[in-house]
Amino acid sequence: MEKIVVVGGGQAGLSLVAKLRSSGYQDEITMVCEEPELPYQRPPLSKKYLTGELEKDRLYLRPKSFYAENNIDLMLGCRCEEIDPYTSKIKVNGKKVSYNHLVLTTGSHPVKLPPNLGGDLGGLYYIRDLADITSLKPEIVVGRNALVVGGGFIGLETASALISKGLHVTIVEAADRIMQRVVGPETSSYFRNLHRSNGARLLEGVGLKRLIGNRRVSKALLSNDDELDVDIVIVGIGVRPADALAKNAGLDVANGIRVNQKGQTSQPNIWASGDCTSFPWGDSYIRLESVQNAIDQSETVAANIMGADENYEFVPWFWTDQYDTKLQISGLGAGYTNIITRAGIKENSVSYWYMRGDDLIAVDAINDPRSYMVGKRLLEQGIGVEPETLANPQADLKSLLRQ
């Protein structure tokens, strides 16, 4: 009898074991989860769970009964300490566990503020797991001053949640504009105006020099020499792939665990999926931090373990909810040569279409699900579009799909 061991208890790990069982895999499956919680979804942590609109039980991807009914050995609160690819064993809490196939779905870790910048002070929080939010929730008190360091999705989602609970929020982003890594200037401008109109103090091109306090943070010194009184600080300055296990085992690692189009690492019976992986995309390798990638890549790996011999092919998509605004992104806009703006039908809706020459490569849809869905299908099917049609709000986008 074979045994598949999955290291990691997030969306990628759960998607993989669920796909294996639904596809008829009958042999042993073990999940090694470092957190003591059942596998849960992370996107709501910085949104509805933080604000109290979503109960903890609704975060869980599957109920506890799912694992028993599907004969999945769930090892909660257990840490994988090392991998021995030569004997096909891992060490978990000091004990050896053997495998025929090992799948690494270890995710990523937040970049931490170093102690010399005040990173060891109390009142400093990261938004990555349930324990982070559990410790942060009691700090959310009307009228307190919060500093959010980082203007990416996590930082901005958290800022909007804190403002909705009555806190005074300052956001600092060291880059020239917020969300610069994933969107163009037009989308950044829309969300800059959104946050300021909701009462946030938003500073771009301004970084954090250091936090000041006696055991607990009380002030923040910024790179523009402003000094702020702060009660809590949220740091969202990026994540790093959790690839140390793979690296220590001698696997190929470069900005994540390198896998081929099938999801295999440099060791054929060790696979990887989700945030921790670096995988082929065109002529290069990329790493994506998204729920969609975690699910789809994991399901491809599951199919290939069972002999399907499939390549992982997809169009990336992402989303973020800030205040009452939803941004949906399909494709990757890096390398665009032109952005076409298309006014939406509803108030406060708009879409931005990224072109590389004559080719559509991505779309940002703000409060505009129709444009998002059409753009996603155009990208999936490789359908060419005329810029004039995209720019004309009276033109029927769906007609492009019938060409």
- Counting the structural domains of the chain, the total is 3
Same domain (yes/no): 56, 103:
yes
Q: What is the mean pLDDT of residues 14-27?
A: 97
Same domain (yes/no): 229, 264:
no
Same domain (yes/no): 12, 98:
yes
pLDDT on residue 353:
97
Does residue 1 register a pLDDT over 90? no
Angle between helical axes of 185-197 and 153-164 (0-180°, round to 10) = 20
Same domain (yes/no): 231, 287:
no
CA distance 309 to 120: 48
Residue 314 resides in a domain: no
pLDDT on residue 387:
85
> Worst-scoring range by mean pLDDT, 184-198, 217-231, 279-293?
279-293
Residue 94 resides in a domain: yes
Same domain (yes/no): 344, 370:
yes
CATH number at residue 383: 3.30.390.30
Same domain (yes/no): 50, 101:
yes
Does residue 66 register a pLDDT over 80? yes
Q: Which of 194, 213, 237 is the last residue of a domain?
A: 237
Share of the chain above pLDDT 90, in %: 91
If pLDDT is split at 50, 70 and 90, which confidence band does 18 have? very high
Structural domain span for residue 41:
3-109+240-305
Only one residue has tokens 């990173």, namely: 119
pLDDT on residue 345:
84
Same domain (yes/no): 223, 276:
no
Q: What is the mean pLDDT of residues 16-33?
A: 98
Longest dimension (CA), the chain: 66
Same domain (yes/no): 16, 59:
yes
Residue 93 resides in a domain: yes
Q: Which of 219, 237, 255 is the last residue of a domain?
A: 237
Same domain (yes/no): 177, 105:
no
Does residue 304 register a pLDDT over 90? yes
Does residue 314 register a pLDDT over 80? yes
Q: Where are the beta strands (DSSP E) in 227-379?
A: 227-229, 232-235, 239-241, 257-258, 270-272, 277-281, 284-286, 317-322, 325-331, 338-343, 350-356, 359-366
Q: What is the mean pLDDT of residues 22-49?
A: 96
Residue 256 resides in a domain: yes
227-229 sheet: strands from edge to edge: 208-214, 216-222, 227-229
- 3-class SS at 361? strand
Residue 365 resides in a domain: yes
- The per-residue pLDDT for range 77-116, each reduced to its tens digit, is 999 999 999 999 999 999 999 999 999 999 999 999 999 9
Residue 310 resides in a domain: no
Does residue 14 register a pLDDT over 80? yes
Same domain (yes/no): 155, 221:
yes
- In 3D, which of 376, 136, 381 has the Cα closest to residue 236? 136
Same domain (yes/no): 98, 149:
no
Same domain (yes/no): 231, 247:
no
Residue 119 resides in a domain: no
pLDDT on residue 43:
92
If pLDDT is split at 50, 70 and 90, which confidence band does 45 have? very high
pLDDT on residue 245:
97
pLDDT on residue 401:
78
Does residue 403 register a pLDDT over 60? no
Residue 338: Cβ within 10 Å count:
12
pLDDT on residue 384:
84
Residue 129 resides in a domain: yes
What tokens does 145 get? 């001053």
> What is the helix (H) or strand (E) element at residue 110, kind and residue range?
strand 108-110
39, 60 contact by CB (below 8 A):
yes
CATH number at residue 82: 3.50.50.60
Only one residue has tokens 């008190």, namely: 141
Q: Which of 187, 202, 237 is the last residue of a domain?
A: 237
State the pTM of this model. Answer: 0.94
- The per-residue pLDDT for range 112-169, each reduced to its tens digit, is 999 999 999 999 999 999 999 999 999 999 999 999 999 999 999 999 999 999 999 9
| Average pLDDT for the chain | 95
